[in-house]
């Protein structure tokens, strides 16, 4: 009789519950991760047995162990699975049993599992993003320390630039700080230089490992997408065939607003937080690049879209940028699906008729 395994993963051990086709669950088995105990338990299961694991911080390696044992891994969306279990109590046994039940019933909210090499490359891109955020935080702290003492004076350029003028101004400004602030800011400046060196090394690794792929070159034809955003978008999307339509990809990237419609009243809300935040960051960042260089993209669809949604209202910048980001996400779907470069959208006959009758720009 076929078995369905639910696995509640922890750092040092996992709890397994097996359920047969009739719905009868076995007792919970606690398996330690060390000394080959986990491998021994997994190898004792029949080949092809489905095993459900939640999206915890430990799922990378345990899915590798499940695949190595010849079993069938299923990655469950943790939040959605908890909601479907509908149990006021929470224990390791109940969580594992709940996963086994959902797996048996065919209602397990599954998450796509990228391949091992793709997961590895994703880690490279995400590490660069983390380093960049770290560097931004250090720059903010240094700028704040200098601003408290009215520094730097008479310098309008980028204080953290690589030019000689920026370097001299930076060193003179730090030297003008009081003793203890000067020491702390100097340490942060040294750390910033180390972080920048790490970012440069990771960026070089990215360029050599994935930056030259044909798919990435295609994605770089998108407005605002360059050497970093292209690989990020490619790796975070993975297999584009898992998205039936461009709208599904845009929703996965968190670029589709919530809609509340009842009694003839429709309200458009904010975009969802439950999304691939790395992919959302990449598309929004590309949209911000387009907004910052509107003159360079003048006459292109992305600029017209931004200006139409913004409608000269400063408080609508966010909505307009998200609209551009959604367009880029949907365009990325077409690029990867059709193996083609980015092309300017062409108005359909229906849109042309609407323009003439309603008088709105395309």
Give yes or no for residue 179 having a pLDDT over 80.
Answer: yes
| pLDDT recorded at residue 350 | 55
Instruction: For residues 317 and 34, give the distance between their C-alpha atoms in angstroms, rounded to a whole number.
Output: 53
Res 351: pLDDT: 46
pLDDT at position 230: 95
134-148 average pLDDT score:
96
Res 349 pLDDT > 80: no
Q: Is the pLDDT of residue 128 over 50?
A: yes
The reported pLDDT for the residue numbered 56 is 84
In this model, does residue 9 exceed pLDDT 70? yes
* pLDDT digits 0-9 by tens, 59-116: 889 999 999 999 999 999 999 999 999 888 999 999 999 999 999 999 999 999 888 8
Q: What is the pLDDT of residue 348?
A: 64
Q: Which pLDDT score is estimated for 116?
A: 81
Q: Mean pLDDT, to the nearest integer, of 142-160?
A: 91
Q: Which tens digit of pLDDT belongs to each residue from 279-314? A: 999 999 999 999 999 999 999 999 999 999 999 999
pLDDT value of position 268: 86
Averaged pLDDT for residues 116-136: 93
Chain mean pLDDT for the chain: 92
Q: Is the pLDDT of residue 48 over 70?
A: yes
Other beta carbons within 10 angstroms of residue 14's beta carbon come to 24
Confidence of residue 192 (pLDDT cuts 50, 70, 90): very high
Does residue 93 contact residue 15 with C-beta atoms inside 8 Å?
Answer: yes
Give Cα 269 distance to the centre of its chain: 21
pLDDT at 87: 84
Q: What is the mean pLDDT of residues 39-64?
A: 93
* Model pLDDT, residue 361: 38
């Amino acid at each position: 009789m076929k078995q369905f395994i639910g696995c509640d993963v922890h750092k040092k051990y996992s709890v397994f519950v097996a359920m047969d086709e009739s719905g009868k669950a076995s007792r919970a088995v606690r398996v330690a991760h060390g000394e080959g105990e986990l491998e021994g338990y997994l190898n004792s299961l029949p080949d092809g047995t489905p095993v459900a694991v939640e999206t915890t911080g430990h799922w990378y390696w345990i899915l590798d162990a499940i695949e190595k044992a010849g079993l069938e891994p299923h990655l469950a969306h943790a939040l959605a699975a908890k909601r479907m279990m509908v149990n006021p109590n929470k224990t390791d046994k109940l969580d594992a049993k709940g996963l086994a039940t959902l797996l048996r019933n065919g209602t397990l909210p599954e998450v796509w599992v990228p391949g091992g090499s793709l997961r590895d490359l994703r880690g490279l891109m995400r590490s660069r993003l983390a380093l960049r955020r770290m560097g931004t935080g250090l720059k903010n702290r240094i700028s704040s320390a200098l601003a408290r003492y009215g520094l730097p004076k008479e310098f309008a350029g980028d204080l953290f630039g690589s030019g000689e003028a920026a370097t001299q101004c930076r060193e003179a400004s730090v030297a003008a700080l009081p003793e203890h602030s000067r020491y702390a800011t100097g340490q942060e400046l040294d750390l910033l230089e180390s972080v920048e060196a790490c970012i440069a090394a990771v960026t070089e690794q990215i360029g050599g490992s994935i930056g030259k792929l044909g798919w990435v070159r295609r994605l770089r034809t998108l407005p605002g997408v360059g050497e970093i955003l292209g690989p990020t978008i490619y790796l975070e999307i993975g297999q584009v065939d898992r998205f039936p339509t461009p709208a599904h990809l845009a929703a996965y990237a968190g670029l589709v607003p919530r809609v509340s419609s009842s009694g003839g009243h429709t309200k458009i809300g904010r975009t969802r937080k439950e999304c691939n935040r790395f992919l959302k960051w990449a598309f929004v960042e590309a949209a911000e690049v387009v907004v910052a260089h509107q003159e360079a993209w003048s006459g292109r669809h992305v600029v017209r879209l931004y200006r139409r949604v913004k409608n000269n209202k400063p408080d609508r910048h966010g909505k307009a940028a998200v609209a551009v980001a959604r367009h880029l996400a949907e365009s990325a779907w077409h690029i990867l699906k059709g193996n083609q470069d980015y092309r300017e959208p062409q108005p359909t006959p229906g849109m042309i008729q609407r323009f003439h009758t309603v008088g709105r720009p395309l």
